[in-house]
């Protein structure tokens, strides 16, 4: 393989990375995941809001440390529309969980479907790792736990919130590792 071919490959990877930069800022998922775990283990009503605020703070840190990449307006619109559809799907699943009391957690299945499909669509260029797919598989299997008497159904059940939060934390760390592997460590701040 020639040096020119390697350089062209690196340029293509850089272009792919830049287009999916917003999703690869993995540490933003850590406070969000912590908010889910906190919501599943405590009575703190603001835990999900706390997690979302933490995610925005971390995104600001990425932008300061590594620089900001402005996504194309079409990507922003697609992400907003996808978020609205995911929230509607998850809330509808929660309503069905509450009214039908099914033997599977529809809420957990809806979250897994939304996160898995959304992640796949948003990272088509750089792709998902095996860890992403294993996390989705584990959550799908867990959704069937109520059928065998393990866990409960419902969006705000600890059985839903805790594993989703742990998955977000793990996947956030995996994505951050990919981010750093590609872009390098954050530059040191000058005094």
Q: What is the pLDDT of residue 6?
A: 57
Q: What CA–CA distance (Å, rounded) separates 72 from 60?
A: 19
Q: What are the pLDDT digits (tens) for 27-78?
A: 999 999 999 999 999 988 899 999 999 999 999 999 999 888 888 889 899 9
How far does CA 93 lie from the centroid of its chain? Answer: 19
- Quote the percentage of the chain above a pLDDT of 90: 69
Q: Is the pLDDT assigned to residue 96 strictly greater than 60?
A: yes
Q: What CA–CA distance (Å, rounded) separates 150 from 142?
A: 9
Q: What is the reported pTM?
A: 0.87
Q: What is the pLDDT of residue 183?
A: 85
Q: What are the pLDDT digits (tens) for 107-132?
A: 999 999 999 999 999 999 999 999 99
Q: What CA–CA distance (Å, rounded) separates 27 from 172?
A: 5
Query: CA 93 → CA 55, 155, 176, distances in Å?
Result: 25, 8, 30
Containing 52, the helix (H) or strand (E) segment is: helix 47-66
Helices 106-122 and 158-183: crossing angle, nearest 10°? Answer: 10
**Strand, coil or helix: what is 34?**
helix
């Amino acid at each position: 393989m020639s040096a020119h071919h390697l350089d062209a490959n690196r340029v293509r990877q850089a272009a792919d990375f830049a287009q999916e930069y917003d999703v690869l800022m993995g540490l933003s998922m850590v406070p969000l995941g912590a908010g889910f775990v906190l919501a599943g283990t405590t009575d703190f009503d603001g835990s999900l809001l706390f997690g979302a605020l933490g995610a925005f703070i971390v995104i600001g840190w990425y932008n300061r440390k590594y620089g900001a990449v402005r996504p194309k307006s079409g990507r922003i619109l697609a992400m907003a529309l996808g978020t609205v559809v995911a929230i509607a799907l998850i809330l509808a699943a929660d309503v069905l969980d509450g009214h039908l009391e099914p033997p599977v957690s529809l809420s957990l299945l809806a979250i897994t479907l939304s996160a898995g499909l959304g992640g796949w669509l948003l990272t088509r260029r750089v792709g998902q790792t095996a860890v992403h797919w294993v996390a989705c598989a584990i959550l799908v299997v867990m959704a069937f736990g109520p059928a065998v008497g393990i866990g409960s159904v419902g969006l705000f059940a600890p059985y839903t919130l805790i594993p989703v939060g742990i998955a977000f934390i793990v996947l956030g760390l995996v994505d951050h590792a990919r981010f750093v592997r590609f872009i390098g460590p954050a530059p040191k701040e000058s005094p």
